[in-house]
Structure 1
Amino acid sequence: MGSKFHAFLYPWFGFGHMIPYLHLANKLAEKGHRVTFLAPKKAQKQLEPLNLFPNSIHFENVTLPHVDGLPVGAETTADLPNSSKRVLADAMDLLREQIEVKIRSLKPDLIFFDFVDWIPQMAKELGIKSVSYQIISAAFIAMFFAPRAELGSPPPGFPSSKVALRGHDANIYSLFANTRKFLFDRVTTGLKNCDVIAIRTCAEIEGKSGKPLEDRWNNWLNGFEPSSVVYCAFGTHFFFEIDQFQELCLGMELTGLPFLVAVMPPRGSSTIQEALPEGFEERIKGRGIVWGGWVEQPLILSHPSIGCFVNHCGFGSMWESLVSDCQIVFIPQLVDQVLTTRLLTEELEVSVKVKRDEITGWFSKESLRDTVKSVMDKNSEIGNLVRRNHKKLKETLVSPGLLSSYADKFVDELENHIHSKN
């Protein structure tokens, strides 16, 4: 093992990015390396319980400067339900001078980043290596970012022909390319100019860290039979339109199963309650909850009453799905999620996907109901197939040494890169 290094982490200020970066920080700290983690003050409070090595991982706080369109007090994507994420990128860019001062003072060996595309240039000026650490799928990087960053095209036949865009998937990609071009361009620029490209293609599986599930959820879930509850979540980045949100709620109701839905309030609504279908709360009282705040997802998934996890196939939720014992149902929302869903559903056959309109992407309450029931029915052929395949894949993923070997190889490569000639 080489000499120890100091890593400086500057992730995109969304919890779907900061939490994987903290997982990385824990792995680096476990190997004896020092980490400085840049985060807003409020976000740090939510991240601190996940910090397994507080003596080695130090949070550096920043306050986002004001830019037009950024709500007062907003710090992360979770604070921007109805705003363009571009304003957050603009505010993070204005931190450049502050960050350069911190880096000159701390003198790290590596700077990890994802969307902040000026990091490689600044790092080179300061004689520091930069690492573009991406948390989305390798297939998506290979198909869409790598060619545009002039990193070469994927080899023939990669990824599998099953992992390709078609129908509504292509519309999702077009929407992504048009509405989030500023992020697309940032990732491409970062990939092209950085010293190291790293992709989170295998996740650290973090334990409960001694933290029990909140009594509110534990007591409620204890009232149901094992493997009987459907848990549904779409992360803190995604906001439904109100009509699709209501269709989701009605679909969960139609399953006839107990359920817990944890999603952000839909666009144009300040609370979950005001957006619910008429009479919905009264009808599902006692067997269903729709929650508009943050929940301890890994702990919920580990509760014995949870039998199915409906999610968007964000990379964090995908890994939490795979290492759980739940049946997996995907409703992808972004193009990388579409490709990952296709890999897991058609190639590995460990999950199922809710059918949607090929043109609009709309999914009906009946489609959601039928998909969930198809995996929850113990006599279902598809349900038994994905259950068997999921069990085998989980055994591989949680086998002793697998993830540690990935982490060891990654850290070794970083150490070698630091000491290699520029």
Structure 2
Amino acid sequence: MESLTSAGSAPAPPTVRPHVVLLASPDAGHLIPLCELTRRLVEHHGFSATLVTFHSLSEQQSLPSSLPASVTIAPLPAVQIDDLPANAYRPTVLVELIRRSLPSLRTLLRSISSTTPIAALVPDFLCSTALPLATELGVPAYIFITTNITYLYLIHRLVELHEGASPGEYRALTDPLEIPGGLSLRRADLPEGYRSSKAPVYARLLAAGRRYRLAHGVLANSFSEMEPAAAEAFRQIAEQGAFPPVLPVGPLVRSESDEEAAAGASPVLEWLDGQPARSVVFVSFGSGGALSVEQTAELAAGLEATGHRFLWVVRMPSLDGRSYTFGAGADDDDPLVWLPQGFVQRTQGRGLAVAAWAPQVRVLSHPATAAFVSHCGWNSTLEGAVAGVPMIAWPLHTEQRMNALLLEESLGVALRLREREDGGVVAREEVAATVKELMGGG
């Protein structure tokens, strides 16, 4: 009997999925969007993936439950960094940790490529020192910017400014710095490392920006509708060959299912369920933002004076003047003890103060949430934008002042709180007036 399968009609060999290796810097704010990018590449674009993680500097970060099981997780071994100054600029410490991990990363990449052709290497933008490894392997590399296109434009301007500069010559950015779309950044609005050309970190930022030009492209956690002028400017810049193409791939935010898997049922959400629609002001400064003791008291007094319902995620105050405290505080520290005496009792029924954490994505999407007092970290900004919640901008560190200006002046989706001229504290009267204005009672 003849075979029913004729010659030439044998089943085609299975298609090999292109393999991408992604590098997440050791920071939760960077890990979350990179995991979401990984998920989309695997589930929607047919890639297989290895996610490389570095040793965390703070609390252990768990990977999102939405990350496909097929993704290979490759943690690199810890490296010694205790020789660095205790007060070192945090991004500098992160970059140094990554640099010291490069030998282990090289070994890992060579091991992967010996059995699986690597289609692309995608490092987080703090991992730009890994770009030469892609050149060694002969694979394309795409930098992933966890923040916005406006920040990327700042990097481009820094590199452009130093075209033709002699070694060791560092030129200051203009003050103000004009950004496409009419945004004018004063020196005080720039991320700390960009404010002075004499600061040691300035040279490292310039070196990183120059390395970005080794990449085949840049993936930005933003979208054209949010930053149309900056996106168009980069289209033209790429056409001129002055910078790699910039591809807006956002918004990449954590999902409600991830938070539900991590926290399960939440008393915060149960409390929100009992509040009227669009009535609650949500106050949160992210995983690393910190207020001083004085500022914590002023915020409490301001919220109390508004008469509006509020949900406040209270973190341990800063006792050393810093506006960030990544991983600070012992597990048994209770930030609620720093609230003014009687505050919780006086606001009981219309206000809820919770310690350290709340399921932010689920809170922002809850029907009771009307406004978001935010530090303007980019993850929080995108989560607020996706939920359609207007914001009160209270930037604290890194690029957050720049983000606040983008939200207030370019997009018109935020009101900016103003600090007192005599000490950088936002007064209770300013808090109350701004909340009332946004909520329609001012």
The structure-2 alpha-carbon separation of the partners of 1:322 and 1:100, relative to structure 1 and needing over 3 Å to count, comes to same
Match of 1:61 in 2: 75
Q: Is 1:259 the counterpart of 2:265 in the alignment?
A: no
* Root mean square deviation of aligned Cα: 3.4
Q: Distance in 1 between matches of 2:255 and 2:274?
A: 25
Greater per-residue helix proportion:
1
1:346 maps to a residue whose letter is: E
Match of 2:286 in 1: 235
Secondary structure at the aligned position of 1:219 is classed as: helix
Q: Distance in 2 between matches of 1:32 and 1:217?
A: 38
Identify unmatched segments of 5+ residues in structure 1: 72-79, 381-422
Q: Counterparts of 1:263-282 in structure 2 under 5 Å?
A: 263-268=314-319, 270=329, 271=333, 272-282=335-345
Q: Distance in 1 between matches of 2:137 and 2:402?
A: 38
Match of 1:200 in 2: 221
Q: Counterparts of 1:121-136 in structure 2 under 5 Å?
A: 121-136=132-147
Q: CA deviation at 1:356?
A: 2.4
Match of 2:158 in 1: 148
2:149 maps to a residue whose letter is: A
Q: Distance in 1 between matches of 2:209 and 2:266?
A: 44
Q: Distance in 1 between matches of 2:358 and 2:436?
A: 24
Asked whether the equivalents of residues 134 and 200 of structure 1 are also in contact (C-alpha less than 8 Å), the reply is yes
Asked whether the equivalents of residues 35 and 64 of structure 2 are also in contact (C-alpha less than 8 Å), the reply is no
Q: Distance in 2 between matches of 1:197 and 1:377?
A: 41
Asked whether the equivalents of residues 120 and 195 of structure 1 are also in contact (C-alpha less than 8 Å), the reply is no
Q: Is 1:89 the counterpart of 2:105 in the alignment?
A: no
Q: Is 1:164 the counterpart of 2:164 in the alignment?
A: no
Secondary structure at the aligned position of 1:117 is classed as: helix
Match of 2:62 in 1: 46
Asked whether the equivalents of residues 229 and 257 of structure 1 are also in contact (C-alpha less than 8 Å), the reply is yes
Match of 2:406 in 1: 343
Q: Counterparts of 1:173-322 in structure 2 under 5 Å?
A: 178=199, 181=202, 184-185=205-206, 187-202=208-223, 203-204=251-252, 207-209=255-257, 212=260, 214-268=265-319, 270=329, 271=333, 272-322=335-385
Q: Deviations over 1:158-192 (max 9, x none)?
A: 4233x212385369676687486476346424323
The structure-2 alpha-carbon separation of the partners of 1:176 and 1:276, relative to structure 1 and needing over 3 Å to count, comes to farther
Asked whether the equivalents of residues 190 and 401 of structure 2 are also in contact (C-alpha less than 8 Å), the reply is no
Q: Deviations over 1:50-109 (max 9, x none)?
A: 31x222x222123422321689xxxxxxxx9x8742334323322111111111111232
Q: Is 1:21 the counterpart of 2:34 in the alignment?
A: yes
Q: Counterparts of 1:409-420 in structure 2 under 5 Å?
A: none
Asked whether the equivalents of residues 25 and 53 of structure 2 are also in contact (C-alpha less than 8 Å), the reply is no
Higher-Rg structure is 2
TM-score by length of 1: 0.75
Q: CA deviation at 1:247?
A: 2.3
The structure-2 alpha-carbon separation of the partners of 1:360 and 1:197, relative to structure 1 and needing over 3 Å to count, comes to farther
Asked whether the equivalents of residues 64 and 258 of structure 2 are also in contact (C-alpha less than 8 Å), the reply is no
1:169 maps to a residue whose letter is: D
Relative CO higher for 1 or 2, CA cutoff 8 Å, sep ≥ 6?
Answer: 1
2:41 maps to a residue whose letter is: L
The structure-2 alpha-carbon separation of the partners of 1:325 and 1:126, relative to structure 1 and needing over 3 Å to count, comes to closer
Asked whether the equivalents of residues 30 and 146 of structure 2 are also in contact (C-alpha less than 8 Å), the reply is yes
1:227 maps to a residue whose letter is: R
Match of 2:242 in 1: none
Identify unmatched segments of 5+ residues in structure 2: 1-14, 164-172, 224-250, 320-327
The structure-2 alpha-carbon separation of the partners of 1:9 and 1:346, relative to structure 1 and needing over 3 Å to count, comes to same
Q: Distance in 2 between matches of 1:25 and 1:44?
A: 20
Q: CA deviation at 1:134?
A: 0.8
1:22 maps to a residue whose letter is: C
Asked whether the equivalents of residues 64 and 92 of structure 1 are also in contact (C-alpha less than 8 Å), the reply is no
Mean CA deviation greater in 281-290 or 250-259: 281-290
Mean CA deviation greater in 115-124 or 209-218: 209-218
Secondary structure at the aligned position of 1:37 is classed as: strand
Q: Distance in 2 between matches of 1:127 and 1:359?
A: 56
The structure-2 alpha-carbon separation of the partners of 1:21 and 1:360, relative to structure 1 and needing over 3 Å to count, comes to farther
The structure-2 alpha-carbon separation of the partners of 1:334 and 1:41, relative to structure 1 and needing over 3 Å to count, comes to closer
Number of residue equivalences:
364
2:217 maps to a residue whose letter is: V
Asked whether the equivalents of residues 117 and 190 of structure 1 are also in contact (C-alpha less than 8 Å), the reply is yes
